[in-house]
């Protein structure tokens, strides 16, 4: 039980990566705040965890709105008594080029994908510091944060921002015994914003198979557990080695 007696918030926990992170963390002893905008999805994941003998509660929250984040952090802390772990996983993509994306769409992608890890970490860290919790924060970036693409203009900008935001937050929270790291997935389960897993989705990596959500969940578990206590401000690639080949994989 790597996370015994820990309380974890997982944002965007209603499916795919967030769902498997929530379930793996629960199997490792954590109580899970299943945070999602989609109530039905969040309720289902929380119910699955409880049915398997774990602890979980769903919280509806639009991570693109600071007032929702503040209310969610308060509700989670009241319900579970503290917060030890924050997984900033929720994101949306635009899939548009610079001429097609509207300013409104750009702002929404940035709000959910980049500003929410900043605001969630800020409000959770205040709670951790007030309670003397030695916290762990894991931000979910993307290989799209390291390379340009012919579309996903706002998403690539936001994910690049998540990488450097992670370093600043890590520096500022280290004196408070809060460790901040990032994970960097590529092609894990279904694409962002989609339910369907297409087994024929082309992947070019060193492992020779698409990633599955538990691949990312295992990395997040490592960064959220004491096994990684000397690891801070880093970005752990969970990409099957594809970035070694990236020019042919864009």
Ligand X SMILES: NC(=O)c1ccc[n+]([C@@H]2O[C@H](COP(=O)([O-])OP(=O)(O)OC[C@H]3O[C@@H](n4cnc5c(N)ncnc54)[C@H](O)[C@@H]3O)[C@@H](O)[C@H]2O)c1
| Pairing outcome for strands 235-238 and 31-36 | unpaired
- Any contact of residue 185 with ligand X (CB under 6 A)? yes
- Any contact of residue 249 with ligand X (CB under 6 A)? no
User: Per CB under 6 A, which region of 37-45, 96-104, 124-132, 221-229 contacts ligand X?
Assistant: 37-45
- Any contact of residue 205 with ligand X (CB under 6 A)? no
- Any contact of residue 9 with ligand X (CB under 6 A)? no
Member of 9, 36, 54, 237 binding ligand X (CB under 6 A): 36
- Any contact of residue 190 with ligand X (CB under 6 A)? yes
Alpha carbon 233 to chain centroid, angstroms: 15
Q: How far is the CB of 38 from ligand X (least distance, A)?
A: 4
Q: Report whether 163 contacts 206 (CB < 8 A).
A: no
For 14, phi and psi rounded to 5 degrees? -75, -15
Member of 6, 10, 16, 205 binding ligand X (CB under 6 A): 16
**Does 155 participate in catalysis according to the annotation?**
yes
Residue 24 or 92: the one with the smaller Cβ distance to ligand X is 92
For 88, phi and psi rounded to 5 degrees? -85, 90
- Any contact of residue 228 with ligand X (CB under 6 A)? no
Member of 62, 66, 75, 127 binding ligand X (CB under 6 A): 62
Q: Of 51, 3, 2, 43, whose CA–CA distance to 19 is shortest?
A: 43
* Residue at shortest CB range from ligand X: 12
**Catalytic center residues:** 155
């Amino acid at each position: 039980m790597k996370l015994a007696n820990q309380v974890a918030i997982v944002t965007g926990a209603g499916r795919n990566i967030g769902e498997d992170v929530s379930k793996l963390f629960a199997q490792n002893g954590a109580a899970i705040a299943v945070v999602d905008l989609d109530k039905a999805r969040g309720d289902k994941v929380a119910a699955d965890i409880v049915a398997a003998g774990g602890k979980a509660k769903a919280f509806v929250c639009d991570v693109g709105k600071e007032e929702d984040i503040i209310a969610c952090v308060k509700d989670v802390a009241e319900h579970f008594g503290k917060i030890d772990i924050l997984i900033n996983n929720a994101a949306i993509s635009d899939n548009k080029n610079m001429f097609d994306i509207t300013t409104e769409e750009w702002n929404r992608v940035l709000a959910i994908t980049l500003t929410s890890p900043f605001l969630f970490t800020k409000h959770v860290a205040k709670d951790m510091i007030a309670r003397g919790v030695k916290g762990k924060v894991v931000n979910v970036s993307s290989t799209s944060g390291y390379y340009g693409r012919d579309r996903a203009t706002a998403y690539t900008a936001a994910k690049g921002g998540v990488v450097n935001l992670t370093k600043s937050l890590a520096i500022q929270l280290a004196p408070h015994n809060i460790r901040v790291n990032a994970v960097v997935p590529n092609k894990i389960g279904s694409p962002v914003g989609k339910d369907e897993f297409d087994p024929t989705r082309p992947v070019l990596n060193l492992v020779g198979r698409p990633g599955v959500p538990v691949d990312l969940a295992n990395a997040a578990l490592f960064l959220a557990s004491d096994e990684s206590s000397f690891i801070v401000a880093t970005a752990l690639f969970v990409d099957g080695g594809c970035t070694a080949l990236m020019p042919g994989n864009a």
